[in-house]
Amino acid sequence: MAEEEVGIVESFFAQPVVAAIKVTGNLNVGDTIHIKGHTTDIIQTVESMQIEHDQISTAKAGDEIGIKVTDRVRPHDHVYRVIGE
């Protein structure tokens, strides 16, 4: 399973369970991502993304987005897009 880094977690919000991510590559709704850190290891599909509460379908390098996550993530965790499932 190949992976390409597409972002870094900047912060985490418990209610709702959302990660703020600084995007360093291209990311689309429907992509499978892998969030990895010292104590984080989550694989999930991106079901929705927002910038300043507006729904978007594609994020590009430099965007700061929010996505719902299935579990706690931590600042500085790396976000990878899974390629070629």
Residue range 55-81: mean pLDDT, rounded: 97
pTM exceeding the 0.75 threshold for the entire prediction: yes
Q: How many CA atoms lie within 13 A of 36 on its CB side?
A: 9
Question: Does 16 sit behind a cis peptide bond, omega within 30 degrees of 0 on the bond before it?
Answer: yes
Q: Is the pLDDT of residue 80 over 80?
A: yes
Interval 14-34: pLDDT, tens: 999 999 999 999 999 999 999
List the CATH number of the domain containing 66: 2.40.30.10
Average pLDDT, the chain: 96
Q: Which domain holds residue 24?
A: 2-83
Question: How many domains are contained in the chain?
Answer: 1
- Say what the pLDDT of residue 84 is: 77
Query: Distance between CA 56 and CA 3 in Å, rounded?
Result: 22
Q: Is the pLDDT of residue 39 over 70?
A: yes
